[in-house]
Amino acid sequence: MSTIKKPALGRGLSALLQDHGSDIMNKEHPSRMVGSISMIPLSQIEANPFQPRTEFEKQALNELSESIKLHGIIQPITVRKVGIEKFQIISGERRVRASILAGLNEVPGYVRVAKDQDMLEMAIIENVQRENLNPMEVALSYKRLIDECSLKQEELGDRVGKDRTTVNNYLRLLKLPTEIQIGLRDGKLSMGHARALLAVTDPNEQLRLYEDLLRENLSVRSIESLVKQVNESDPKPASKNANALNSDYIKHFETIQGQLTNHYQLPVNIKAKAIGKGEVIIKFNSESEFERLMNLLQS
């Protein structure tokens, strides 16, 4: 059975593709020329090195394969010619994979010319518009366009038909901790969840909220509420006025904070907002700890 030949990974654009001069008419098979639709052997087709989709759902592929067995390929794939009897997929890798499962030896393909940047752009545009890419696949694809094709966000938005805000929202996902990015890729949280978590600057807090999300199956609104609480509890920069905290005053409260922590055997946090103002927070993790704390406070 034929397989899609995958190019080596980890190389730059120029190393992944052969000379553009190989985008030529097939002299041995004149019917396979640029601009035509031809029946192309699967053994001569290799995957697009710029394919943004990294995972193909097995069940969906099997269903498409059964459909192809009954009806054939309705929509030809698009390829570029990169050598004698050698083609690279521009769009349609899912159809090619399903055709292999269906036992086909050849598929109809539209042959066209494409340079490196064109290949990447067309693969992303075709997939974003026709496939349900997960948010991380979209984000990584957008970043490749910016980094490897030297596009600005405005130019990228024009290429993929998205406004700058939408493009920026996807690119910001790459700032999340790896665990959250994987969860987003695997569908454990939505784009809305991820955008809410981005409002927290501390990666550790992001991970803590993510764990709460998974454990309690929290909605986007619930996460936004928790994020708001986290941000409101963060100490604000001291104002530059007569009541501004000086270093000695801060050290004084740090000393008292340590003494209270030792006394209650619980985490104590003193937040001094200005001279004579602030709050004391004592955290407990169980009912028994709370009861012990109340007894100590009342003694």
Give the active site residues.
93
DSSP class of residue 45 equals E
Whether residue 78 contacts residue 92, with contact meaning beta carbons closer than 8 Å, is answered with yes
DSSP class of residue 199 equals T
Pick from 173, 211, 171: which is nearest to 192 by CA?
173
Q: Would you tell me how many other CB atoms lie within 10 Å of the CB of residue 105? A: 12
Whether residue 250 contacts residue 230, with contact meaning beta carbons closer than 8 Å, is answered with no
Query: 153 is written with which tokens?
Result: 């966000």
* Distance from C-alpha of 120 to C-alpha of 143, rounded to nearest angstrom: 11
**Which residues lie across from 77 on neighbouring strands?**
109
